[in-house]
Amino acid sequence: MGLTDDLLRFDWTGVDAELQKKTEDAFAELRLTEEQIERVQRVFLEEMERGLDKQSESPSSLLMENTFLPELPNGHETGEYLALDLGGTNFRVMYLRIADGKVVEQDFQRFEVDEAHRYGSGEDLFDFLAGCVQSFLREKHPSGRHFELGFTFSFPMIQKSLDVGILQTWTKSFKASGCVGQDVVKMLNEALHRRGDINVDVVAIMNDTTGTLVQGASQDQHCAIGVILGTGSNAAYIERVDRVKKWDHHQNGIKEVVIDVEWGAFGDNGVLDFVRTDVDRAVDDLSLLVNSFTFEKYFSGKYLGEVFRQCMLKAHRDGVLFESVSEKLNTANSCTTKHVSMLEKDTIDGTGHHLEAVMEELQQAHSAADLVVLRYICALITVRAAVLVSACISVLLKRIDRDDCSIAVDGTLFKLHPRLASLMETAIAVLAPKHKFHLFLAEDGSGKGAALVAAVAKRLRNRK
Ligand code: GLC
């Protein structure tokens, strides 16, 4: 038995042996074998090294971006900051007060970024963001005082310093024009200053994984990895500067730096094709940005529902599920990650309670045997998600190679899925057997982390 089977342990009660076999055969490709898992680990490490290398001949699919963050909070940070969190369709403006390296007070407001702003011009998008900052301050902090702001920008960017971030490509649900190749800190600062009615300066930009790592480190001193399992997925970790070959700056004795892996794009150059299935190709074909973000599309929150829907359609075509498929189910993106989580809850507590609700939402007629097949599909795509993510985390653990290493995780997929965390714990322990680790939820890394990074940026500036 391999890791996948160990994690899966599926109870087929209610289905005859023939249907079980046909279903297992139909989805054999989604059950990662030991060799495939080992190859994912090997390829991930190779891609990491190529991404850090200055002279790589063929580009790595991992950006391995230098965040220019050489240290984590040391417990002495204090002050009041603003933070912005842009990554999903919700945008947050936050006020955070830090004392002794921890966030002790916070307040925030959420704004919806509608399609017109996500797909429109970059200038309009940043004017809209600046307007949200103004409306938050007008309501909560009308004094007109000056604020420094940490900007969590959860998209692939090339950083030139802690306060310069050049957008490489949009992902998830964004497509605003005139931003790719631009410094988004400059765009935001210009929009803030254009208004003339607020006194705010962006002092640091970071990815949400960096924020999560920093927030994690303020809770647990052994934290060296930050992971997001949400709409998208990615990780940041602490790397030795001497291994960051492409960073030819004068490094002033800096020994370590946080690297943003950008593993969402892992495999965009074909190196992961050995795990790609027809289901994954169908998910990609229907996505906003086709042929990119291969790894993320296997499991992250934005896509897992569609992976599930494509699996159901395949199961129907292969004659193991549903007599006919409802119009709703035939509609792209009609299933969400929430549906997968609901069915997984049934698997855990042995009921069919949520299944009925999901089928009703999808207006899908079904038999008792269908329900077992559906649960199997959800279990399988969940296990594949856990194995893929754990394979990458195990590589990071081995690379960091500390006696004890904590992994801070945030994101809706991680928080709302009923057993992803425990599957990952088991998988990581198998895949990095010699490395002691602790996986924990670092709630709101993209908010609290932004203020903490702004505070660290201030310390670094003062030191200069
Ligand atoms: C996408 C973004 C990445 C972010 C992740 C999680 O993969 O490219 O920067 O960290 O989503 O939000």
Q: Which of 50, 92, 309, 419 is an active site residue?
A: 92
- CB-hemisphere CA count at 13 Å for 230? 24
Active-site annotation holds for 163: no
- Is the distance from the beta carbon of residue 208 to the nearest atom of ligand 1 less than 6 Å? yes
Q: 464 Cβ partners below 8 Å, 6+ apart?
A: none
Active-site annotation holds for 300: no
**What is the predicted pLDDT for the residue at 353?**
85
Evaluate whether 136 touches 91 at the Cβ level (below 8 Å): no
DSSP secondary-structure letter at 85? E
- Is the distance from the beta carbon of residue 446 to the nearest atom of ligand 1 less than 6 Å? no
Q: Which of 50, 60, 127, 154 is an active site residue?
A: 154
Helices (H), 323-444: 337-349, 353-361, 368-400, 412-416, 420-431
166 CA to middle of ligand 1, Å? Answer: 15
350 CA to middle of ligand 1, Å? Answer: 34
- From 262, 288, 295, 388, give the residue whose CB has the most ligand 1 atoms within 8 Å, as the site to mutate: 262
- Is the distance from the beta carbon of residue 51 to the nearest atom of ligand 1 less than 6 Å? no
Q: Report the relative pairing of strands 90-99 and 79-86 from DSSP bridges.
A: antiparallel
Element (H, E) at 308: helix 304-317
157 CA to middle of ligand 1, Å? Answer: 10
User: How far apart are alpha carbons 265 and 415 in whole angstroms?
Assistant: 23
Return the structure tokens found at 214. 């920093």
CA-closest residue to ligand 1 atom 11: 232
- From 233, 292, 297, 389, give the residue whose CB has the most ligand 1 atoms within 8 Å, as the site to mutate: 233
Q: 183-210: buried (b, 16+ CB within 10 Å) or exposed (e) per residue?
A: bbbebbbebbeeeeebebebbbbbbbbb
Q: Which of 85, 127, 163, 208 is an active site residue?
A: 208
- Is the distance from the beta carbon of residue 228 to the nearest atom of ligand 1 less than 6 Å? yes
Active-site annotation holds for 233: no
14 CA to middle of ligand 1, Å? Answer: 40
User: How far apart are alpha carbons 382 and 89 in whole angstroms?
Assistant: 24
Return the structure tokens found at 105. 């007070």
- pLDDT tens over the chain, length 464 residues: 799 999 999 999 999 999 999 999 999 999 999 999 999 999 999 999 999 998 777 899 999 999 999 999 999 999 999 999 998 778 999 999 999 999 999 999 999 999 999 999 999 999 999 999 999 999 999 899 999 999 999 999 999 999 999 999 998 889 999 999 999 999 999 999 999 999 999 999 999 999 999 999 999 999 999 999 999 999 999 999 999 998 876 567 889 999 999 999 999 999 999 999 999 999 999 998 899 999 999 999 999 999 999 999 999 999 999 999 999 999 999 999 999 999 999 989 888 889 989 999 999 999 999 999 999 999 999 999 999 999 999 999 999 999 999 999 999 999 999 999 999 999 999 999 999 999 999 999 989 999 999 999 999 988 87
Q: Is the dihedral of CA 177, 337, 226, 103 positive or negative?
A: positive
**What is the predicted pLDDT for the residue at 251?**
65
Question: Which atom number of ligand 1 is nearest to the Cα of residue 209?
Answer: 10
Question: Which atom number of ligand 1 is nearest to the Cα of residue 231?
Answer: 12
CA-closest residue to ligand 1 atom 1: 232
Element (H, E) at 79: strand 79-86
Question: Which atom number of ligand 1 is nearest to the Cα of residue 293?
Answer: 7
- Is the distance from the beta carbon of residue 36 to the nearest atom of ligand 1 less than 6 Å? no
288 CA to middle of ligand 1, Å? Answer: 15
**What is the predicted pLDDT for the residue at 190?**
96
User: How far apart are alpha carbons 382 and 344 in whole angstroms?
Assistant: 8
